[in-house]
Structure 1
Amino acid sequence: MDLLVTELTPEQLPTVIELCGRSLDLPDDAAEAGAIVATLWPRAVTSRPVVALGAYREDRLIGVLLGSLSTPGSPAAHVDLVAVGPAHRRRGVARALVSRAEQQFAGLGAREVRLAGNPPYYAWPGIDVRYTPAICAAEALGYARDSTAWNMTADLCGAESPALRTTAPAEQRLAGLGVTVRRAEPADLPALTAFVSGTFDGTWAAEVAESIGRDRAGCHLAERDGDLLGFAAWGSSRPGWFGPMGTAPAAAGSGIGGVLLRRCLADQRAAGIIQAQIGWVGPVRFYSGSAGAWIERVFFGYRRSLGEQ
């Protein structure tokens, strides 16, 4: 039977979500299929170039690919998600989707394609190492592994969990130093955006903006005399994920980070979340010490030049 690969339209969003729910093999990913797809498409269409492709056999959607460029004309394109129905794997569906995406990326000015997250809107940092067929497909398509990333998990189940330790004594100590810790409100967004953009990763400002004023999401900040010293956010991509967070260099070692982290984790527990994913972690020791978190998900990132054969 012939395979047809064509562009998806926003009206097909429910069908795409249903397919991803059936096709993502890890239970947590399958359960969050709606949030994952909504993070990548069509919300991101207005903020960056997006490629959304569907593979059909006999008018039935059997595979999808969502990809993006960071900005118009960016030299690097990202494949953010590929999902193929279980009954249609190993039949060239993923290859056809990726090949068509590469053509469209090249037409948009990209010179390389990465199988890795494209923040601020991303599903995962890369390919979870437990998705063995996806790793095999990436290598068969000529992509080379070039990075490793990981998520950490924080237990939010029991009252004795380190992640749910009270922050009251630490907040009292900080108050004695003139530091106020509080929940961020929409009115704080301009100052937060300026602080985050000027101090940390350039994509974090958009993630922070997605965490304020929305259901099952939130952000906390620390300030002194009107100057921001740190922030922590959760739910910007999906409710179970924590991040980003950052503390101003001048406040390093003050304990602000641990307070902000646990305030967010307490929010997530109140929202009914029993395990928080700390996404794309850098300081492993900090999260282990502050919240008893452990490394659980590991991701490989791949890339290929569009000039390669």
Structure 2
Amino acid sequence: MDATTIAELTVERAAEGVELCRRALDLPEDAAEAEPLVATLWHRAAADRPVRVFGAYRGDDLVGVLIGSHSGEAGHVDLLAVHPRVRRQGVARALLGHAERALAESGAVEMVLAGNPPYYGWPGIDVRYTPAICLALALGYRQDRTAWNMTADLSSDSSPALRATEAAEARLAGQGVTVRRAEPSDLPALTTFARTTFGGAWDGELAGSVGRPDAGCHLAERDGELLGFAAYGSSRPSWFGPMGTVPAAEGSGIGGVLLRRCLRDQRTAGIEFAQIGWVGPVPFYSRSAGARIERVFFLYRRALGSPNESTGA
């Protein structure tokens, strides 16, 4: 058996990484979106979110890839994929150990097996990727959160997710509320609104949604004042989110209208099942779009410098 060597990959090797992910990601929905997934994680580095990509080789063959990023004091594993023919041969362990050391040298004091918004593949490890969970536990990672996605069925015209919004929009218009598609010129106001109203990294996700051909955003406003927004496609075309409405507008129906306008866009683009990522208000999405909880994720973390086998300690 050839020894495993680890090397940092450059963007020129992205196509090889995409092909590896198509073979390595066991869930069909993940494998089908390998290209936009890798592009989202690899190419959207920023000054406050540097990205490191490592490849595992057996001879000249790329057999594993890890995409990591650094945010504050945390190093994130955004994607870890190993070719099926070399699993259970130490490839994933070698990649993770190498990434831990590299990110520690860059100032990370803990490692997180979880998404790093605004650009992330998944909230954490899908519970169906059992080998990844076993690896995390073997290396001393502890589960500290659980997250979930909901699925909206867009495959049929009769789906609750595709219910018409015209009557609700007319009612809102009678209250002085305009609902419309966001344009690139709206982006500065939208990102400021998201950052100041909700915090987090939604402003970055909006920047990845507005004005792109495979993504989009709808907003609600009254007299030029933003009341809410809903976006899709920032991570990849089939994913919905983020969305938010001001507390004063909760219960007005604005959220349901914005949500279904986005889902109709995704249906028009040929998507039959939309993933509502990293969901908070489960009842809202169930009521407004008939969405169901489908994907569940475990999120893990470990302090770097603590003894574990991946670092050779």
Partner deviation per Cα, 1:39-88 (whole Å, 9 max, x = no partner): 10033256621111000011110000001012xxx211111110000000
The answer for the alignment partner of 2:4 in structure 1 is 3
Match among 160, 163, 170 for residue 168 of structure 2: 170
Paired residue type of 2:254: I
Partner deviation per Cα, 1:233-282 (whole Å, 9 max, x = no partner): 00011000000000011211111000000000000000000010000000
Q: Percent of aligned positions with the same letter in both sequences?
A: 69
Paired residue type of 2:27: L
Match among 132, 135, 138 for residue 137 of structure 1: 135
Q: For 1:102-113, what aligned pairs fall within 5 Å after superposition?
A: 102-113=100-111
The answer for the alignment partner of 1:91 in structure 2 is 89
Q: Please give the alpha-carbon distance, in whole angstroms, between the structure 1 residues aligned to 2:46 and 2:60.
A: 25
Question: What SS does the aligned partner of 2:63 have?
Answer: strand
Q: Please give the alpha-carbon distance, in whole angstroms, between the structure 1 residues aligned to 2:265 and 2:136.
A: 38
1:184 aligns with 2:172: no
4+ runs deviating over 6 angstroms: none
Paired residue type of 2:119: Y
The answer for the alignment partner of 2:73 in structure 1 is 75
Paired residue type of 1:136: C
User: Quick check: 158-167 or 37-46, which moved more?
Assistant: 37-46
TM-score by length of 1: 0.98
Query: Over aligned residue pairs, what C-alpha RMSD do you find?
Result: 0.9
The unaligned stretches of length 5 or more in structure 1 are none
Match among 181, 204, 207 for residue 205 of structure 2: 207
Match among 116, 119, 126 for residue 117 of structure 2: 119
User: Quick check: 25-34 or 208-217, which moved more?
Assistant: 208-217
The unaligned stretches of length 5 or more in structure 2 are 308-313
Count of residue pairs brought into register by the alignment: 306
Paired residue type of 1:157: S
The answer for the alignment partner of 1:308 in structure 2 is 306
Paired residue type of 1:265: L
Contact 2:238 2:273 in 1 (8 A): yes
Q: Please give the alpha-carbon distance, in whole angstroms, between the structure 1 residues aligned to 2:44 and 2:14.
A: 11
Q: Please give the alpha-carbon distance, in whole angstroms, between the structure 1 residues aligned to 2:194 and 2:285.
A: 20
Q: Please give the alpha-carbon distance, in whole angstroms, between the structure 2 residues aligned to 1:308 and 1:58.
A: 32
1:213 Cα deviation (Å)?
1.0
Q: Please give the alpha-carbon distance, in whole angstroms, between the structure 2 residues aligned to 1:145 and 1:51.
A: 24
The answer for the alignment partner of 1:38 in structure 2 is 39
